[in-house]
Amino acid sequence: MIALIEAAIVQRLRQGLGKLVTGVHSYGGELDDESLGTGRLPMVLVTFGGARIEPMTVRGNAFRTSAKFVVIVAVRSLRSNQAARQGGVDKREVGANQLIYAVRRLLDAQRLG
């Protein structure tokens, strides 16, 4: 079920973000890659962040499971740190804050599985 929800999040973000990012992928250690250049950024990575199981009744015979998924927005600007966060003077230079806003709008109140 985790893989299905993660795939649904990736698909939703791919459709919604379009050409704002170079790619939306499941996280597989891409940020550890030293050859991660600006040509592959901005990118969005999705991974499972853990789950919590809580009893719903005093008896403990019913449980509620909540899962957390993490969306990583990776941006790099050669101009400045501020341009990486807020975007550049050109509309094609998207900042991390703009991508975070877009990701939140695309995923808030969505049922993905």
Two structure tokens written together for 32: 């550890």
Q: What are phi and psi of 86, to 5 degrees?
A: -105, -10
Q: How much is the average pLDDT of 23-43?
A: 77
The dihedral built from the CA positions of residue 10, 11, 15 and 16, taken in this order, carries a sign that is negative
pLDDT at 18 over 80: yes
Cβ atoms of 23 and 7 within 8 Å: the answer is no
Mean pLDDT (the chain) is: 84
- As a whole number of angstroms, the distance between CA 77 and CA 60 comes to 52
Q: Which DSSP state fits 32?
A: G
From residue 42, alpha-carbon distances to 25, 63, 86, 101 in Å are 12, 39, 13, 14
